[in-house]
Amino acid sequence: MTIGISKPDVRPANPNFSSGPCSKRPGWSLEGLADAPLGRSHRAKVGKAKLAEAIDLTREVLKVPADYRIGIVPASDTGAVEMAMWSLLGARPVDMLAWESFGSGWVTDVLKQLKLDGARKIEAPYGELPDLASVDFSHDVVFTWNGTTSGVRVPNADWIPADREGLTICDATSAAFAQDLEFSKLDVVTFSWQKVLGGEAAHGVLILSPRAVERLESYVPSWPLPKIFRMTKGGKLIEGIFKGETINTPSMLCVEDYLDALKWSQSIGGLEGLKARADGNLKVLADWVEKTNWVEFLAVEPATRSNTSVCFKVVDPDVTALPADAQAAFAKAMVAALDAEGVAYDIGAYRDAPSGLRIWSGATIEASDLEALVAWLDWAFADQKARL
């Protein structure tokens, strides 16, 4: 029940604004996956061909250098990051950067699970970046390119030297297919396709530079590696992993869905088309914030604002005067009201983040749906404020 507040006339055609899995591409249907080799082995010729095609199209769309390896690995982006950290770290000190939940999770793994000596934690609160100038590139460096739970991204790779001694390990899961990843500055890049192109979950992508491969072939960690983390045999890279011979059994239906998304990406102009859609979507939201006095970006600096996982905080004085738990309840009530209306699903802030809203604006979202959504956000805010 509303309290005398009119609802907008136009509803988003697609109410799915989750930050992962994110919305399917425009025009997606199950019929588009009819070519999936279901019931067949992923090691059969047809299965290997599909996996190799996914790797090749990933390279083409993301513009991955020819001498970088691309592998499809288990356990989503988390699995890809863990494979990299457990296999590569320990050869030299490591700087761990964190400014949101997932980056903080990698810090925990390195400090409490791997228990690496010489690990430095370089942190910043939600909404900000840490001091990138303080990073020591004689160390290995682990960071998220785009903070999915804070909406804060690094603006570019200018802070990473080309002549670095250590490796850079980049969790790029909500940046890939929307932002420029400067591969010459990155030795490991990971993402999961459900985060960026609306693919189905449980698979990760791991991209390795020649420097990362050299580390794998010359360094053996002091700890045991689970089977799904092992990328070498007899001191040599298992090349099959990066040609479609996956470590464990992948879902060929999920692979087909990823292929569908990659081919759609090509149809709209590849990476440039994807970036343009995400940037245009961010502009819709930024224009709304500019004229709206109750909301602000969580990201403080405009250059660091994500164009995919956009995070907002409620700044209305009557709301910010409330205790923290009441502010969180206010935001959750807005989210629940929009869910009940069927106009926006899954837009609450991440559980570890400050209370507020998080809206996916990557390339699979239509700008027209965001234009309709912001009017509903204003309605939800006004409705909840009238109840205070």
pLDDT digits (tens, 9 = 90+) for 215-234: 999 999 999 999 999 999 99
Alpha-carbon torsion (206, 212, 217, 219), positive or negative: negative
Residues 352 and 232 in one domain: no
Q: What tens digit of pLDDT does each residue of 96-125 get? A: 999 999 999 999 999 999 999 889 999 999
Question: How many domains are there within the chain?
Answer: 2
Q: Which of 8, 9, 6, 12 is nearest to 371 (CA)?
A: 12
Q: To the nearest whole percent, how much of the chain has pLDDT over 70?
A: 99
Residues 70 and 163 in one domain: yes
Q: What pLDDT is recorded for position 381?
A: 98
Residues 219 and 294 in one domain: no
Domain range for residue 318?
A: 270-385
The DSSP-derived string for 109-176 is IIIIII--TTEEEEE--TTS---GGG--TTSEEEEESEETTTTEE-S-STTS-TT-SS-EEEE-TTTT
Residues 180 and 158 in one domain: yes
Q: What tens digit of pLDDT does each residue of 242-285 get? A: 999 999 999 999 999 999 999 999 999 999 999 999 999 999 99
Domain assignment present for residue 19? The answer is: no
- Count how many residues are written for the chain: 388
CA distance 147 to 155: 12
Q: What pLDDT is recorded for position 211?
A: 98
Domain assignment present for residue 205? The answer is: yes
Domain assignment present for residue 2? The answer is: no
CATH of the domain at 63: 3.40.640.10
Residues 227 and 327 in one domain: no
Domain assignment present for residue 12? The answer is: no
Domain boundary among 213, 234, 265: 265
Residues 362 and 307 in one domain: yes
Residues 177 and 324 in one domain: no
Residues 195 and 333 in one domain: no
Domain boundary among 265, 290, 312: 265
CA distance 320 to 316: 6
Residues 172 and 125 in one domain: yes
Residues 356 and 303 in one domain: yes
Q: Which of 46, 24, 48 is nearest to 35 (CA)?
A: 46
Q: Which two tokens stand for residue 302?
A: 């405009």
Q: To the nearest whole percent, how much of the chain has pLDDT over 90?
A: 98
Domain assignment present for residue 30? The answer is: no
Domain assignment present for residue 257? The answer is: yes
Residues 218 and 344 in one domain: no
Question: How many CA atoms, within 13 angstroms, populate the side-chain half-sphere of residue 326?
Answer: 10
Residues 354 and 247 in one domain: no
Identify the band that residue 1 occupies on the pLDDT scale cut at 50, 70 and 90.
Answer: very low
Assessment of whether the complete model's pTM goes beyond 0.95: yes
**Can you tell me the mean pLDDT for 361-386?**
98
Q: Which two tokens stand for residue 263?
A: 């081919």
Q: What tens digit of pLDDT does each residue of 139-161 get? A: 999 999 999 999 999 999 999 99
Q: What tens digit of pLDDT does each residue of 186-198 get? A: 999 999 999 989 9
CATH of the domain at 302: 3.90.1150.10
Domain assignment present for residue 87? The answer is: yes
Which of 3-12, 163-172, 312-321, 368-377 has the weakest average pLDDT? 3-12
Domain boundary among 235, 265, 295: 265
What integer best gives the mean pLDDT of the chain? Answer: 97
Q: Please say if the pLDDT value at position 4 is more than 80.
A: no
Domain assignment present for residue 32? The answer is: no
Q: Please say if the pLDDT value at position 3 is more than 60.
A: no
Q: What pLDDT is recorded for position 118?
A: 87
